[in-house]
Amino acid sequence: MFKEKLIKCMKGLRPSGRLKMLSLMLLVGTTAALAQNAAGDYTAGTTALGTVTTEIAKYVPYVVKLCYAIAGVVAIVGAISVYIKMNNEEQDVKKSIMMIVGACIFLVAAAQALPLFFGITS
C-alpha cells in the first residue's frame, strides 16, 4: 500500500516535457546573457571577424576556379546525356538541354558573383 502511494507520488513529481524544455531554455538564455560583454567593448569580436574575412578571401580564387571546373564537367556530362537521349528518340530532350544550360549558367554566374560578395576586386 505504502509502495503504491510512493510510486504515485513520485510520478507526480516527475517533470513533464514542457517543464524540461522550459528549464533548458532558461539555462541557455541565462548563459547567453551572461556571456555578453557588459562593458560594450566589442574590439575582440570585430578583430576576429576581420581575420576571418581575410582568411576566407584567400580561398575565393580557388572556389571560383572550382565552380568553372564543375560547370565544365556538367556541360560535358550533359552533352553526352543529351546525345544519348537524341539517339534513343526520347521525348524530353529539350527539357534536358534547358536544365543543363541553366545549371551551367548558374555555376558561371555564381563564380562571377562570389568575389563581389566578399568585396574582392582583381
Q: What is the DSSP letter of 14?
A: S
Per-residue pLDDT, 14: 62
Residue 81 C-alpha cell reads as 546525356
User: pLDDT value at position 21?
Assistant: 80
**pLDDT reported for residue 81:** 95
Q: Where are the domains of the chain?
A: 40-122
The grid coordinates listed for 42 are: 566589442
CB-CB contact of 78 with 67 (8 Å) = no
pLDDT of residue 38: 56
Cα distances (Å, whole numbers) of residue 77 to 70, 71, 73, 103: 10, 10, 6, 12
pLDDT (0 to 100) of residue 6? 62
Per-10-residue mean pLDDT of the chain, 122 residues long, equals 67 68 76 60 81 87 94 96 94 93 95 86 68
Q: Under 8 Å CB-to-CB from 79, ≥6 apart: which residues?
A: 100
- Cut 0.85: pTM above it: no
Instruction: Read off the C-alpha cell for 16.
Output: 513533464
Neighbouring residues of 56: CB distance < 8 A, sequence distance ≥ 6: 118
Query: Among 58, 60, 70, 63, which Cα is nearest to 106's?
Result: 70
pLDDT of amino acid 9: 61
57-75 residues labelled b (16+ CB within 10 A) or e (exposed): eeebeeebeebeeebeebe
Name the residue with cell 548558374.
106
